[in-house]
Copies of this chain bind each other. A is one copy, B any other.
Amino acid sequence: MNDSPEYLEKKRFFDSVITLYGRNVAVEVLRDDAVQIHKLHLSKSNRIDETIEEILALAEMRGIEIKYHTKESLSRISKNSAQDQGVAIDVVSQNYRSASNIATDLPSSFRLLALDGINNPQNLGMIVRSAAASKIDGIVLPRRNSTKLSPLVMKASAGTLFKIPIYYCEDLSEILGIKDTAIITLSSHAKDDIHTLKIPSRAIFVLGNETEGVSDAVMRASTHSVSIPMYRGVESLNVAVTAGIVSFLP
Whether A238 sits at the interface, judged by CB under 8 Å, is yes
Rounded to whole Å, the gap between the CB of A46 and the closest CB of chain B is: 32
Whether A160 sits at the interface, judged by CB under 8 Å, is yes
Stretch of A50-58, A70-78, A212-220, A242-250 with 4 or more beta carbons under 8 angstroms from chain B: A242-250
Rounded to whole Å, the gap between the CB of A33 and the closest CB of chain B is: 14
Rounded to whole Å, the gap between the CB of A57 and the closest CB of chain B is: 27
Contact status A237-B133, CB under 8 Å = yes
Contact status A133-B245, CB under 8 Å = no
Contact with B along A207-250 (1 / 0, CB 8 A): 00000000000000000000010111110111011111100101
Contact status A126-B241, CB under 8 Å = yes
Cα distance, A248 to B129, chains bound together (Å): 19
Q: Indicate which residue in B132, B134, B231 contacts A134 across the interface (CB closer than 8 Å).
A: B231
Contact status A133-B230, CB under 8 Å = yes
Whether A164 sits at the interface, judged by CB under 8 Å, is yes
Contact status B132-A234, CB under 8 Å = yes
Q: Indicate which residue in B158, B234, B245, B250 contacts A195 across the interface (CB closer than 8 Å).
A: B250
A residues within 8 Å of B by Cβ?
122, 126, 129-130, 132-135, 156, 158, 160, 163-164, 195, 228, 230-234, 236-238, 240-245, 248, 250
